[in-house]
């Protein structure tokens, strides 16, 4: 179908810079960051290209230009004695109205049981774009990068022992590589044409880091400006969302690839949005795999007398296909995750942490600025990590409520990534034609 104009789409995240750095604007909210910071790290060509794309931006679904970031985690966990609060029909598990005042707005130094390692790469390869440590294991750090001058994307590999860096894969010219993730010794990523169109062809690729064997996992077409798949990882699962449009019906499908089942692919859940006489139904926008199931941010439309009312909800879809649970509704949520008994969501100026057992908010960590964004929350053991603005990572002790900045502030800090027992992020520095990238790895 062509020229449907059912979904006024947000421009695709064709820039690796957007995928790794810029805070995702979820639920129709702007970044809140100083635009000058963003401009400083873009080339003139990138700025011009993004301005052209913005002309096509209209309201409908949350801005997903940054969904391309990949979250990865390698070990499934068995949850025992951690039953979630029962939720009545039409209600959400988290009730913000009943939550007490639990704001934490001061920093307090404390010790944490993690090792921090830093690796520095200097190369002209990074002068036209940025990168980050998207996948980490005990031997290597893998990442995708884009050369806007050559209009070509690559997969890079950094050896943690020898400190050597090499390009191990080049995408076809005029194609973009995005949302690189990894499980054990296998990398996965998505390739698609860097020139957006109403019918965008995409393919999911994989590489065995042992023999460098390349395999095409799946291919498809994103219609009417819908996003290509955006890969994320938990345990042995690679997850993404696909869309199909037929007869004014948009079908969203939550997909799972099981690496431990010979890369078997299943549809965990699907939903439909009828765009006939006013929108009615659900649309999957962003997915986050967790130990309890797949968290999906949905746009929800209710058609009453030909008038459509829109709202947003974050829903947990268990892997065993038991009843889905609505966790939270809201229109200013930027990022979110579930780990163990905790549900975390971020907004401009604050990060909230709630218990899945009683639905109450336990902590609300506030930043110095009420407008800077917070994103990529991860919980490791009893510690919460997240990025504040675009220049610092924070850590909070969820047992004590203590909260502090991790390492020093930096000019540009990428989003956080998780690969099993590792957390990682990048620090970007530019010196003329040479770009210096520092990879920070926590274990």
Query: Which pLDDT belongs to residue 195?
Result: 86
For residue 63, what are its two tokens?
């801005």
The phi and psi torsions of 123 (rounded to 5 degrees) equal: -160, 145
CA dihedral 296→302→308→310, nearest 10 degrees, is -30
C-beta separation of 25 from 19 below 8 A: no
**pLDDT at residue 139 greater than cutoff 90:** yes
**pLDDT at residue 131 greater than cutoff 80:** yes
Confidence band of 417 (pLDDT split at 50, 70, 90): very high
Confidence band of 436 (pLDDT split at 50, 70, 90): confident
C-beta separation of 50 from 41 below 8 A: no
Query: Residues with Cβ < 8 Å from 151, sequence gap 6 or more?
Result: 173, 174, 194
**pLDDT at residue 385 greater than cutoff 60:** yes
pTM: 0.83
Query: Which pLDDT belongs to residue 411?
Result: 76
Query: Which pLDDT belongs to residue 90?
Result: 75
**pLDDT at residue 306 greater than cutoff 80:** no
Across the range 134-148, mean pLDDT stands at 94
Query: Which pLDDT belongs to residue 101?
Result: 67
The phi and psi torsions of 18 (rounded to 5 degrees) equal: -60, -40
Query: Residues with Cβ < 8 Å from 282, sequence gap 6 or more?
Result: 252, 271, 272, 273, 298, 299, 300, 301
Separation between Cα atoms, residue 128 and residue 141, nearest integer Å: 20
Backbone CA torsion sign across 54, 33, 373, 430:
positive
Query: Which pLDDT belongs to residue 18?
Result: 54
Confidence band of 51 (pLDDT split at 50, 70, 90): very low
Question: In this predicted model, what pLDDT tens digit does every residue of 89-101 receive, in sequence order?
Answer: 778 999 887 666 6
Cα distances from 264 to residues 56, 182, 206, 239, 257, in angstroms, run 37, 16, 14, 12, 6
For residue 112, what are its two tokens?
């944490």
Question: In this predicted model, what pLDDT tens digit does every residue of 226-269 receive, in sequence order?
Answer: 999 999 999 999 999 999 999 999 999 999 999 999 999 999 99
Q: Express as a percent the part of the chain with pLDDT over 70.
A: 80
Query: Which pLDDT belongs to residue 12?
Result: 40
Instruction: Tell which wins on pLDDT, 305 or 151.
Output: 151
Across the range 373-397, mean pLDDT stands at 94
Instruction: Tell which wins on pLDDT, 281 or 129.
Output: 281
Separation between Cα atoms, residue 288 and residue 259, nearest integer Å: 17
For residue 217, what are its two tokens?
């996992």
């Amino acid at each position: 179908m062509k020229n449907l104009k059912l979904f006024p789409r947000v421009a695709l995240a064709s820039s690796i810079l957007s995928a790794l750095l810029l805070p995702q604007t979820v639920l129709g909210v702007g970044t809140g960051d100083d635009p000058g910071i963003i401009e400083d790290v873009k080339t003139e060509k990138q700025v011009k290209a993004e301005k052209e794309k913005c002309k096509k931006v209209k309201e409908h679904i949350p801005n997903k230009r940054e969904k391309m970031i990949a979250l990865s985690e390698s070990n499934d966990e068995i949850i025992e004695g951690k039953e979630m609060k029962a939720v009545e029909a039409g209600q959400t598990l988290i009730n913000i109205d009943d939550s007490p005042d639990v704001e934490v707005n001061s920093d307090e130094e404390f010790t944490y049981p993690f090792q921090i390692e830093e690796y520095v790469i200097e190369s002209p390869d990074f002068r036209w774009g940025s990168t980050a440590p998207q996948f980490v294991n005990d031997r290597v750090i893998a990442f995708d990068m884009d050369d806007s001058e050559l209009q070509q994307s690559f997969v890079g590999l950094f050896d943690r022992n020898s400190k050597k860096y090499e390009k191990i894969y080049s995408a076809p010219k005029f194609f973009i590589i995005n949302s690189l993730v990894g499980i054990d010794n296998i990398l996965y990523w998505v390739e698609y044409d860097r020139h957006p169109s109403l019918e965008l062809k995409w393919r999911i690729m994989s590489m065995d880091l042992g023999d460098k064997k390349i395999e095409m996992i799946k291919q498809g077409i994103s219609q009417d400006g819908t996003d290509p798949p955006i890969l994320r990882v938990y345990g042995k699962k690679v997850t993404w969302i696909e869309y199909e449009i037929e007869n004014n019906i948009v079908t969203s499908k939550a997909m799972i690839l099981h690496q431990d089942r010979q890369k078997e692919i299943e549809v965990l859940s699907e939903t439909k949005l009828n765009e006939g006489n006013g929108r009615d139904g659900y649309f999957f926008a962003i997915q986050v795999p967790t130990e309890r199931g797949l968290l999906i941010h949905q746009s929800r439309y209710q058609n009453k007398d030909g008038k459509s009312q829109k709202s947003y909800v974050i829903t947990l879809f268990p892997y065993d296909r038991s009843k889905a649970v609505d966790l939270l509704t809201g229109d200013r949520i930027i990022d979110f995750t579930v780990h163990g008994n905790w549900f975390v969501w971020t907004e401009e100026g604050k990060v909230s942490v709630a218990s899945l057992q009683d639905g109450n908010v336990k902590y609300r960590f506030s930043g110095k600025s009420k407008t800077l964004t917070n994103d990529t929350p991860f919980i490791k053991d009893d510690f919460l990590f997240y990025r504040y603005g675009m220049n610092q990572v924070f850590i909070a002790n969820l047992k004590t409520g203590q909260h502090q900045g991790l390492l020093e502030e930096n000019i540009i800090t990428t989003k956080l990534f998780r690969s099993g027992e590792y957390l990682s992020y990048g620090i970007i520095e530019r010196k003329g034609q040479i770009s210096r990238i520092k990879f920070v790895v926590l274990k």
